Chains A and B, each alone.
Chain A
Amino acid sequence: MAEPFLSIQHVRKSFGATTVVEDFNLDVEPGEFVSFLGPSGCGKTTVLRMVAGFEEPSAGKIVVGGKDITRLKPNQRNVGMVFQAYALFPNLTVAQNIGFGLKVAGMAKANIDARVAEMLDIIKLPQMADRYPYQLSGGQQQRIALARAIAPKPKLLLLDEPLSALDAKVRVSLREEIRSIQKKLGITTIFVTHDQEEALSISDRIAVMYGGKAEQVGTPFEIYNRPATKFVANFVGTLNVLEGKVTDAAAGTVQVNTQEVSLKGKLNGSKSGDMLSLALRPEAISLGRQPGRDSSLSGEISEVHFLGSVIRVRVGIGGNTVSLDTFNSPATPPPAVGEKAEISFSSSDMLVLH
């Protein structure tokens, strides 16, 4: 890995007696886009605010570009931030909002105007310069807030759930716009969200957080396909969990309900008789036997949801229920509730959760 640009080292934060962030570590490369993903209250905002300088870590340090900034005030850090509630200055026009940081830095008026115009172009709102924030939609306000944050060319860009106040369509288009602007400018970015689809779709890497710790840091592909912990597996994506019992640790066989599956090489450390949680993504399961899938289980169809292009089917296997998606095909009607069915999958897609 290249020299990290932002390095968060063993950071801890307590408010009074409660520890909210514990031993948080993360290295971010220059120009990288990293998302913090996690449930409400897991400490995402707190970590971000420590990077911004609004909270002081109780322990640990934060290094940006080789310089320890742990004790610097927010206005000395040269960091840009976008808030969930936009936080545009209501008494200033769009142009004055975007130029605020430049004016504070003492830039000459002509240069400010040029930079503001450039920013308005980047966010594709060139005609809005003289409007006031209350005359803009939420999506427009948030784009202005983004422009305001990046206008002074900050070393780091921090975004705290910038899209969560917007409606679904705007959310998707704006997240792509944020990502493309970020790529174009090459600015190192941390993006906080509790929306996994958002995190998966635009991040270089994701830090999945739980209880004040980073449970796993990795690319969206790694996080989704090789979750390191049970929490990550459950939190990211839909997961089918099957309870199984190891019947022969050496041979790698596990009994699910009354049926046996073989998981050679995946049971490291388990003994015969141990209970295990096995997990499968819906897209790793097919209905009926398929070529190339080495394992199967039989059960009974318990629910069928026709969603248009996709049909979501739930299959009961003993005490376990498994969800899977099949594509709609005009020639074959969907399966019916109560039918016997067989599901197949590759044992290599099975995740063993410890």
Chain B
Amino acid sequence: MKSGKFWAWVVFALGAAYFFIPLIATVEFSMRMRRGAYSFDAYQIVLGDPRFQATFGYSVLAAVFTIILGVLIVVPAAYWIRLRLPQLRPIVEFITLLPLVIPAIVIVFGYIRMYGSNSPLPFLATDMGTNALLVIGYAMLALPYMYRAVDTGLRTIDVRTLTEAAQILGAGWGTIIGRVILPNVLIAVLSGAFLTFAIVIGEFTMASLLNRPAFGPYLQNVGANRAYEPAALAIIAFAITWGCMSLIQILSRFAPRSANRPN
């Protein structure tokens, strides 16, 4: 009993060390810019860099649009599949997994071929079009996470009966999705949204090949040319991701008190 507990702690400590030592080393390194003393100089430089602000702003905006697009596509689709086409679920699940299997670079080259300036759908002819294409690409990259999150949320409610209860009270599809389904899967949608956010903020391949001024290519650029700043950037990116994860945790605690707690 005692020794079992002891070894459990040893394994835990090893795991924690594996995770934290590189992190601590990076933090330590990022603070050594000034000779002989620890300082936040590297962070100051990074945060003060106008290109950091511009690219980060661009990626945040792209993430917001990606999330909106993803929610608009995934929530009605996952809902309809649960309600009317349950036999399609395995197929749809497979399709949503494809972005994990097909490398982003393949998809981007496909896009460039398909949507070039002299194609029938010339997304790439304008800046706005290219931005839109990037958001569409991101929505697809985030699909596996968004779909799974929403589908799991839908599993916790009795979709069919709630739909019928709303229908018989006179509600149409808009009301049903907006007032009954979405609020009950809001937490799931939010966790999908934060995962999407984390993916979009760090994404490199698509943004770079579509030549967009996003945060990912900026990270790469700084990483290739500087010494201390990349470490600071890595820590900042890490903090953002962790911030997202903690927000998911906090939000699910403050969720509309309602959502389906077992009696």
A104, B170: Cβ atoms closer than 8 Å: yes
User: What are the 4 A-B residue pairs with the smallest beta carbon separation, nearest first?
Assistant: A101-B169, A91-B183, A87-B165, A87-B161
Q: Is B47 interfacial (CB-CB < 8 Å)? A: no
User: In the complex the two chains form, is B168's CB within 8 Å of A52's CB?
Assistant: yes
- Contact, CB under 8 Å: B166 / A79: no
CA distance A309 to B27 in the complex (A): 83
Residue-wise interface mask of B (178-199) relative to A, using a CB-CB cutoff of 8 A (1 in contact, 0 not): 0110011000000000000000
Number of A-B contacts (CB under 8 A): 78
CB distance from B52 to the nearest CB of A (A): 40
**Cα distance, A53 to B184, chains bound together (Å):** 25
Residue A80 CB within 8 A of the other chain: yes
Contact of A75 among B171, B259, B263 (CB under 8 A): B171
Whether B168 pairs with A79 at a CB distance below 8 angstroms is yes
Q: B127 on the interface (CB 8 Å rule)? A: no
In the complex, 15 of the A-B residue pairs with CB atoms within 8 angstroms, ordered by the A residue number, are A54-B164, A54-B167, A75-B172, A83-B164, A85-B158, A87-B164, A89-B180, A90-B260, A91-B180, A100-B169, A132-B257, A132-B258, A133-B258, A134-B258, A149-B169
- A237 → B minimal CB distance (Å): 33
A85 vs B158: C-alpha distance in the bound complex, in angstroms?
A: 9
Query: What residues of chain B lie closer than 8 Å to A152, measured between beta carbons?
Result: 169-170
Q: Which residue of A lies closest to B164 (CB)?
A: A54
Which of B161, B164, B165 gathers most chain A CB within 10 Å? Answer: B165
Within 8 Å of chain A (Cβ to Cβ): is B157?
A: yes
CB proximity of A25 to chain B, nearest CB, Å: 24
Contact A75–B170 (Cβ < 8 Å): yes
| Residue in B158, B165, B175, B256 whose beta carbon sits within 8 Å of that of A91 in the complex | B256
A149 CB contacts on chain B under 8 angstroms:
168-169
A168 within 8 A of B: no
Verify B259–A90 contact, CB threshold 8 A.
yes
**Chain A residue at smallest Cβ distance from B262:** A134
Alpha-carbon distance A81/B170, docked complex (angstroms) = 11
Q: How large is the interface on A (under 10, 10 to 19, 20 to 34, 35 or more residues)?
A: 20 to 34
Chain A residues positioned under 8 Å from B162 (CB to CB): 87, 89
Contacts of A74 in B (CB 8 A): 164, 167-168
Find chain B residues with CB under 8 A from A75 CB: 167-172
Q: Which residues of A contact B175 (CB under 8 A)?
A: 104
B227 shortest CB reach to chain A, Å:
52
In the complex, chain B residues whose CB is within 8 Å of the CB of A80:
168
A134 engages B164 (CB within 8 Å): no
Query: B234 → chain A, closest Cβ, in Å?
Result: 40
Task: Name B184's closest neighbour in chain A (CB-CB).
Answer: A91
- Decide if A90 touches B167 in the complex (CB within 8 Å): no
A108 on the B face (CB < 8 A): no
Assembled-state Cα–Cα distance A132/B261 (Å): 11
Complex Cα distance A80/B172, Å?
16
Which of B185-217 touch A at CB < 8 Å? none
Which one of A78, A83, A88, A105 has the highest number of Cβ atoms from chain B below 10 Å of its Cβ?
A83
Give the complex CA separation of A73 and B164 in angstroms. Answer: 11
Cβ–Cβ contact A89 & B166, under 8 A: yes
Q: Which residues of B contact A76 (CB under 8 A)?
A: 170
CB-based contact B161/A134 at 8 Å: no
